[in-house]
């Protein structure tokens, strides 16, 4: 005789995309219902049980639209709640469990998400089981997450920030695959898996088998099986759970190797059926032809168009989409794809799998008489001319670091994922031996830059000083690494108002960089830019403008046109024009900076927020209150997402909004 299950896992810690929600006042009271919970968790691990409609509805509303809910509801409660929640994207199927089928058959027919009406628990469980097997095969309800890269530099794209997100997602994948996997990582992953599936005997057996028996040439077999591997990895990729992706990187690398080893040798066309919300589809539909699209997970497709099409059953609230993909293996630099029939857990399926991060070009979009949209894509590579310059530059910039965990942390910091970046830096520190002075110094320096980004200036300066103390002992006095630390410390002195100490440190850095690289290097440009900032703070605007313009000239000569440092120069020149009372020229420079930042950074980046705030300041000075408030609120949204409530930038933007709002009222 069973007992009521311990709650599967806290809802915020559900590491699968799907969850079972059971709304029934007797689910934890009747013994047969308690026994059924164990069977249900063998189908979908995460199970939430509610007695009251309101609690259930609030839970569903709290979930991301990337989550998928399978709802079991009693007849009496279902009649009340389903009309209110049926349209939620999170809900993919509903099962009514009742004592009288005839009583509920009538009203349930109006709701297409209701997949079954059962009076026996065995019948209910069997129906859910068979539907989940079908879902595993057709995948139409799985979230399809992608980032886009616009090649036209349209005004609309330059306000979205998606280009920067696209570039950084590619860098992140490349970096993860370079980091060696350790036994400590494996033990941590297995521990997380066992904790996630506590009480789920079927999955715990598989986890134990995986721990003891996994070999790299079995990666595709494990991935294609409906088990903890597929469920957790895909949720992690779609939700950007960096820590879990990091621990699963060995499997991602093994999957990539198997796809490369079995790469399709001839050109082919493959298909993928997908159900999308109107919002999801409209976001894709408005993309211009020629847009580049990168999938944030592995992409499963079929060689059979009729099969993929058949999965798109009628739906009243979701758009039915058929992706038609032209894949040519002869294109240089593409990520691998392969027919995995002989390697899959389901060998009878003619499945073609594309590597995580595969890039496609949007070719065409059309609508047929059955209401199905066909989106044609063609496979391309990150060496596509539209991407090559900025991506290659950023890759080379990030491969200079000889500690790959620090490199990963730097990418995460640039993406605004500060907590994840900090974990990487500390993980790296913990792995280093106490006599590995150079690499310890590199970690300290990285932590200093991160603390600076988070606004913890005292902590930042402390990390930089620890790094500098080590480097002064083990490096030559004119080593560029020492110059970098002087420059970073000067930034902190400047923010703290100690301009003389800042100028002294900037000039130390400038002297070393000139000795190492000559007058025209980007490091020299960085120092010139920063010295310009000192003169700006001292209100010597003509001198500041001269330094900023010299820095911009060097950067434009050596960097890609959409590099964020060029954006920084435009932003700084805009600040000077504003102080000189030349507001239109200031707006021109700010908009140039904003356009570059939107290409180079993900949408939630502090430099984007800063530039939006600067534009708002100009409009406020022009007494255009509505425009000022609009830009301030855009900046506030980013600051709130990435900074603590006490950060000076957050405090200041709220003051700006309050001040302008009072003018409007």
Model confidence pLDDT, tens digit, residues 130-180: 999 888 877 888 888 888 876 654 433 333 344 677 778 888 888 888 888
Other CB atoms closer than 10 Å to residue 577's CB: what's the count? 21
| Residue 32 tokens, joined | 């047969």
Which residues make Cβ contacts (< 8 Å) with residue 127, sequence separation at least 6?
95, 115, 116, 118
pLDDT at residue number 292: 87
| Residue 377 tokens, joined | 């894509």
Helices (H), 49-139: 53-62, 75-85, 101-108, 121-138
Q: Which of 27, 126, 24, 36 is nearest to 74 (CA)?
A: 24
Instruction: Specify burial of residue 406 (Cβ count, 10 A radius: 0-12, 13-18, 19+).
Output: buried
The Cα–Cα gap between 33 and 19 comes to: 17
Render the burial of 22-31: b for 16+ CB within 10 Å, e for the rest: bbbeebeeee
Model confidence pLDDT, tens digit, residues 11-59: 458 999 999 999 998 888 888 888 899 999 999 999 999 999 999 999 9
pLDDT at residue number 569: 98
For the range 454-457, what are the long-range contacts, defined as Cβ-Cβ under 8 Å and sequence gap of 24 or more?
A: 454/418, 454/643, 454/644, 454/647, 455/643, 455/644, 455/647, 455/648, 455/649, 457/492, 457/495, 457/496
Give the rounded distance of the alpha carbon of 46 from its chain centre.
Answer: 23
In this prediction the pTM is 0.80
* DSSP code at position 216: G
Contact 24, 2 (CB under 8 A): no
pLDDT at residue number 423: 94
The Cα–Cα gap between 388 and 410 comes to: 21
Contact 545, 576 (CB under 8 A): yes
The Cα–Cα gap between 571 and 618 comes to: 13
pLDDT at residue number 314: 72
pLDDT at residue number 12: 56
Contact 560, 395 (CB under 8 A): no
| Residue 149 tokens, joined | 């890269």
18-23: strand order across its sheet:
47-50, 18-23, 68-74, 91-97, 114-118
HSE-up of 48 (CA within 13 Å, CB side)? 23
State which H helix or E strand residue 631 sits in. Answer: helix 625-642
Other CB atoms closer than 10 Å to residue 648's CB: what's the count? 11
Domains identified in the chain and CATH numbers: 11-135 (3.40.50.2300), 146-162+265-385 (3.90.176.10), 456-664 (1.25.40.10)
State which H helix or E strand residue 435 sits in. Answer: none
Q: Which of 193, 19, 33, 16 is nearest to 124 (CA)?
A: 33
Give the rounded distance of the alpha carbon of 123 from its chain centre.
Answer: 40
* DSSP code at position 562: T
Query: Residues of the chain whose pLDDT is less than 50?
Result: 1-11, 153-162, 399-401
pLDDT at residue number 85: 95
Q: Please report the beta strands in 436-481, taking only residues with DSSP state E, as ranges in sequence order.
A: none
Helices (H), 518-624: 522-537, 541-558, 564-579, 583-600, 606-621
Helices 201-213 and 183-196: crossing angle, nearest 10°? 170
Contact 173, 356 (CB under 8 A): yes
Q: Is the dihedral of CA 516, 522, 526, 531 positive or negative?
A: positive
The Cα–Cα gap between 121 and 310 comes to: 30
Contact 569, 576 (CB under 8 A): no
Helices 480-495 and 522-537: crossing angle, nearest 10°? 20
The Cα–Cα gap between 11 and 332 comes to: 44
| Residue 371 tokens, joined | 């209401």
């Amino acid at each position: 005789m069973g007992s009521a299950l311990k709650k599967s896992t806290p809802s915020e810690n559900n590491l699968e995309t799907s969850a079972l929600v059971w709304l029934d006042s007797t689910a934890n009271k009747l013994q047969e219902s308690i026994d059924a919970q164990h069977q249900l968790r063998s189908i979908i691990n995460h199970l939430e049980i509610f007695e009251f409609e309101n609690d259930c509805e609030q839970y569903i509303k709290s979930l991301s639209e990337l989550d998928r809910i399978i709802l079991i509801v009693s007849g009496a409660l279902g009649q009340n709640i389903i009309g209110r929640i049926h349209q939620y994207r999170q809900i993919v199927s509903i099962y009514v469990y009742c004592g009288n089928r005839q009583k509920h058959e009538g009203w349930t027919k109006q709701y297409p998400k209701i997949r079954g009406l059962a009076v026996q628990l065995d019948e209910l469980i069997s129906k859910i089981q068979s539907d989940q097997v079908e879902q595993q095969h057709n995948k139409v309800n799985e979230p399809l997450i992608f980032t886009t890269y616009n090649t036209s530099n349209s005004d609309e794209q330059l306000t979205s920030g998606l280009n920067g997100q696209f570039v950084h997602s590619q860098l992140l994948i490349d970096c993860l695959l370079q980091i060696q996997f350790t036994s400590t990582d494996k033990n941590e992953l297995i521990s997380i898996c066992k904790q996630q599936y506590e009480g789920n005997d079927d999955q715990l057996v598989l986890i134990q088998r995986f721990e003891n028996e996994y070999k790299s040439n079995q990666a595709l077999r494990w991935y294609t099986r409906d088990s903890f591997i597929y469920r957790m990895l895909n949720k992690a990729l779609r939700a950007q759970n960096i820590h879990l992706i990091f621990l699963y990187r060995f499997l991602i690398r093994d999957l990539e190797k198997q796809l490369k080893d079995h790469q399709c040798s001839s050109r082919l066309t493959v298909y993928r059926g997908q159900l999308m919300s109107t919002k999801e589809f409209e976001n894709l539909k408005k993309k211009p032809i020629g847009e580049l699209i990168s999938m944030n997970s592995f992409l499963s497709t079929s060689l059979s168009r009729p099969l993929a099409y058949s999965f798109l059953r009628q739906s009243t609230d979701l758009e039915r989409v058929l992706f038609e993909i032209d894949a040519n293996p002869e294109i240089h630099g593409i990520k691998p794809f392969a027919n995995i029939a002989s390697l899959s857990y389901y060998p009878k399926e003619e499945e073609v799998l594309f590597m995580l991060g595969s890039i496609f070009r949007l070719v065409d979009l059309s609508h047929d008489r059955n209401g199905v949209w066909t989106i044609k894509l063609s496979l391309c590579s990150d060496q596509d001319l539209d991407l090559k310059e900025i991506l290659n530059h950023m890759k080379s910039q990030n491969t200079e670091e000889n500690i790959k965990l620090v490199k990963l942390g730097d990418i995460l910091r640039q993406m605004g994922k500060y907590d994840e970046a900090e974990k990487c830096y500390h993980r790296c520190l913990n792995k280093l031996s106490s006599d590995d002075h150079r690499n310890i110094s590199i970690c300290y320096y990285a932590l200093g830059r991160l603390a600076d980004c988070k606004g913890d200036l005292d902590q930042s300066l402390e990390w930089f000083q620890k790094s500098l103390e080590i480097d002064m002992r083990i490096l030559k006095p004119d080593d560029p690494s020492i110059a970098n630390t002087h420059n970073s410390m000067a930034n902190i002195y400047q923010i703290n108002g100690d301009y003389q100490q800042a100028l002294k440190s900037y000039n130390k850095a400038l002297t070393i960089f000139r000795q190492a690289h000559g007058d025209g290097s980007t490091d020299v440009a960085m120092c010139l830019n920063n010295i310009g900032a000192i003169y700006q703070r001292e209100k010597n605007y003509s001198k500041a403008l001269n330094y900023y313009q010299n820095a911009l000239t060097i950067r434009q000569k050596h960097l890609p046109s959409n590099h964020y440092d060029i954006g920084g120069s435009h932003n700084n020149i805009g600040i000077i024009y504003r102080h000189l009372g030349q507001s239109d020229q200031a707006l021109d420079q700010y908009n140039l900076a904003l356009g570059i930042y939107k290409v180079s950074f993900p949408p939630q980046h502090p430099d984007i927020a800063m530039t939006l705030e600067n534009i708002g300041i100009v409009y406020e000075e022009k007494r255009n209150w509505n425009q000022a408030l609009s830009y301030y609120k855009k900046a506030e949204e980013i600051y709130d997402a990435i900074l603590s409530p006490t950060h000076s930038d957050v405090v200041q933007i709220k003051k700006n909004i309050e001040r302008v709002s009072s003018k409007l009222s």
